[in-house]
A and B are shown apart, each in its own frame.
Chain A
Amino acid sequence: MSSLFYIIRKQLKNIIRDLSKKPLALIGYIFIGILMVGFLIIVLIMPSGSIRSASNEIFVAILTALLSVAMYMGLRQGIEKGSSYFRFSDVNYIFTSPVKTSKVLLFGFIRNIGSSLLVVLLMLFQIPNIKNHFLLADYGVLSILIAALFYTLFIPIMGMLIYTFSTKSPSNRDIAKRVIDALAVVLVLLVLISLIGKESLLQAVISFFNSKLFSFIPILGQVRTIAMASVYGIDYKFFIAILILFAMIGAFFAILYRFNLDFYEDVLAATEAQESKIKAKREGRDISLQKRKVRKVKGGFSSYGARAIFEKIMLEYRKTSIFLFFDRTTLFVVLFSIGFKFFMPEEASSIFITLFFSAYMLFFFVVQGKWPLELEKPYIFLIPESNGKKLLYTTLAENIKNLLDGVLLFIVAYFIYETSIPVVLICMVSYTLYGAMYVYSDIVSRRLFSSVHSKVMQIFIKLFVIFFAVSPGIIIMAIVQSITHNELYSAIIIALWNLIVVTCFFLASVGIFKNIETN
């Protein structure tokens, strides 16, 4: 076991040593660390229920529904692919070494606590949202974070257990799938039955998900109990739930020790899938793209020079998108941006909320979208055309896509908010300009911070660059809105500011396009 801990110790040491050689990255991480601590303090001291204080029952209902869906998906994925704590380097060196399998598993589990803590950190960003809508009890934030930690720790265990069982024979796999699907159907049926004869359907669903029945479901019940303490306060049930979860982890390892299960083969597929994901992320590819169905399309090119880049990207869209530029991004942006409106109290609801929330989501889609993939291949840099033309045509498809997504989004928003057509039109333009801003700021960030080695760190930096670029526009808009109470003026301010920022980023990008370094 000491040799396995040696790996953890040495890797941590080397990461820190590597960082000390890269001052810019180190400063970045320190900055993010300070920010996270600051964020944690704000999260802890900010008042609860400042926008509205929805009932504890609603909190529990949302929590239970989310946990149920996550558990169903986790179990299904466990059957299909299993789960893994391991990397290929572990498969090559540790799996083949004379170390007991149970010890190897314990090693994987301990190492995985690190990534679980990272998920908990990301969970911090959701806390203000929760605090704005619900009245949290003492130590409420802590309860949520503990629940998130346990849940992320248990996902791989669940996946491994069910995969180990289901791979013993094809019939086992079918049985496991049927049982899980049947449980899901039963849950949906129970929800439907609970609606019968009730006046308020919403109230019926809320009381169903508050049922004590859920407390008895292994893992889900305990995680739910811990999270519920955030609104009801910590009591003996909270501690019992933690004890049960620890006991489950202990039992799991006891089984492995006793039976010395040969799980290596069972985690191979999941390790391979995980490794491909990591590789794709490093190379800037979208792993989900690889699973898409590809249409056969004829006749892709008719132009020459830089325009051929645009046609190439269009050809890829025609092969992979649902219809023209509309793909899953469109669906997500439209559904979530419109859906977000219903989570906001009536007095805070306006078309600008949809604009800003969709712009926030768009950032992550652009960062992980098709456009950055062009910079990962050498062709864009090798093609003998001017940098301005290459930049324009490489990004044109993305800008058109954002425009069309924006048109669709704000047509829907028009009917929901019943605002004026000019405001809707300007919101469409503003949304497109946000997209363009993300694209061109990406080039500027790459040039300024190209030595930053971590993709996650790069995304953080881009987020900061964007934050400082976008904020003045929103501040000016807020001032204009409070003085004039005129949505049209506010919309114009946002669009104009975005146009100025996009123009600056584009001009800066053309100048530095030639100095970008590829991998």
Chain B
Amino acid sequence: MLQVKGLSKKFSNILAVDNISFEVGNGEIAVLLGPNGAGKSTTIKSIAGLLRFDGQIIVDDMPNKSVEAKKVFGYVPETAAVYDYLTVFEHIEFIARAYRLDDDWREKAEHLLKRFDLADKADKLGKELSKGMQQKLSICCALIISPKMIMLDEPMMGLDPKAIKELKKTFTELKNQGCAVLISTHIIDSIEEVWDKVLIMNKGKVVLSTTREELEEKSESLEDVFFNHTEGAIVS
């Protein structure tokens, strides 16, 4: 579903992402794991088409910046992006119409809002929401399009325990539906139960790409592997 080939991204003189390549298949949950400043967000933003980059990014056999590719992927930014003067429901309606979704989106919207405890806040304006609620709304906006591939940049930040639980359940459901999921995080515990493939990033490079099966075979924990491969991130 997602193929990243030789992706590099430079900001002024800083090479934020250095020639990385990886793939995420249908029904696979991949995690970009790394310390702060490793290049995770830059990678996700490049895939979402928000940055210029060198290399090639293919989503569902189409270049990531093509209109056709954009139809099939969802993106949850690191900082929740909501419009101050749209209500919660209007956000979902806006996305549904802009993406030309079928009429059954309303039913799905109601389900999502209920699931993320936003149903009673459907008439609240974006600016009236707390940061956590804005994050939940951002997630709903990405999910309403029923994506074939979804990218989430630090999605658990600011969420309450119930929302985190629901989000993890959502990951599993998406996986079962054949959706490719790419999550960026630096908090290992938050993805411990759900990941299939991990891409450990450090200083702009993918320093390790492995699967859950491979780690289980070696009887290694994700935390140990992470600290072994991220120089300077070791804590006592």
Contact = CB atoms under 8 A, between A and B. Distances in A.
Interface in B1-52: 12-13, 45, 48-52
B233 to A, nearest CB: 25
A315 interface: yes
Contacts of A515: 52
A316 B82 CA distance: 13
Most chain A CB neighbours (cut-off 10 Å) among B71, B85, B100 = B85
Contacts of A311: 94, 97
Interface in A305-362: 305-306, 308-309, 311-312, 315-316, 319-320
Contacts of B48: 378, 381-382
Contacts of B68: 384
Interface in B51-110: 51-52, 65, 67-71, 75, 77, 81, 83-86, 90, 93-95, 97-100
B83 A451 contact: no
B125 interface: yes
Contact of A294 (B13, B45, B49, B85): B85
A21 B13 contact: yes
Nearest to B50: A518
Given A22-B12, A308-B98, A377 B51 contact: no
Contact of A383 (B45, B99, B127): B99
A31 to B, nearest CB: 19
Contact of A378 (B81, B84, B97): B81
Nearest to A517: B51
Interface string B105-125: 000000000000000000001
Given A381-B49, A383-B70, A319 B75 contact: no
A300 B125 contact: no
A374 B45 CA distance: 17
Contacts of A383: 70, 98-99
Contacts of B95: 379
B67 A384 contact: yes
Interface in A187-207: none
Contacts of A303: 97
Given A384-B70, A386-B67, A301 B97 contact: yes
Contacts of A22: 12
A21 B125 CA distance: 41
Given A306-B98, A515-B52, A312 B83 contact: yes
A382 B94 contact: no
A320 B51 CA distance: 32
A315 B98 contact: no
A289 interface: yes
A386 B71 CA distance: 12
Interface in A268-320: 285, 289-290, 294, 300-301, 303-306, 308-309, 311-312, 315-316, 319-320
A52 interface: no
A171 to B, nearest CB: 33
A290 B90 contact: no
A315 B127 contact: no
A181 interface: no
A379 B76 CA distance: 10
B91 to A, nearest CB: 9
B50 A378 contact: yes
Given A384-B70, A518-B45, A379 B50 contact: no
A270 to B, nearest CB: 21
B45 A301 contact: no
A304 B83 contact: no
A315 B52 CA distance: 32
Nearest to A292: B85
Contacts of B86: 312, 315-316
Contacts of B93: 300-301
Given A306-B98, A312-B94, 20 more contacts: A290-B127, A300-B90, A303-B97, A304-B97, A305-B100, A308-B98, A309-B98, A311-B94, A315-B90, A316-B86, A377-B83, A378-B50, A378-B77, A379-B95, A381-B48, A382-B49, A385-B67, A385-B98, A517-B50, A517-B52
Interface of B: 12-13, 45, 48-52, 65, 67-71, 75, 77, 81, 83-86, 90, 93-95, 97-100, 125, 127, 141
The 6 closest A-B CB pairs, nearest first, are A384-B70, A308-B97, A384-B71, A308-B98, A377-B81, A316-B85
30 contacts: A21-B12, A21-B13, A22-B12, A289-B84, A290-B84, A290-B127, A300-B90, A301-B94, A301-B97, A305-B97, A308-B97, A308-B98, A309-B98, A311-B97, A312-B83, A312-B94, A315-B85, A316-B83, A316-B85, A319-B85, A320-B85, A377-B83, A379-B98, A382-B48, A383-B98, A384-B71, A386-B67, A514-B49, A517-B52, A518-B50
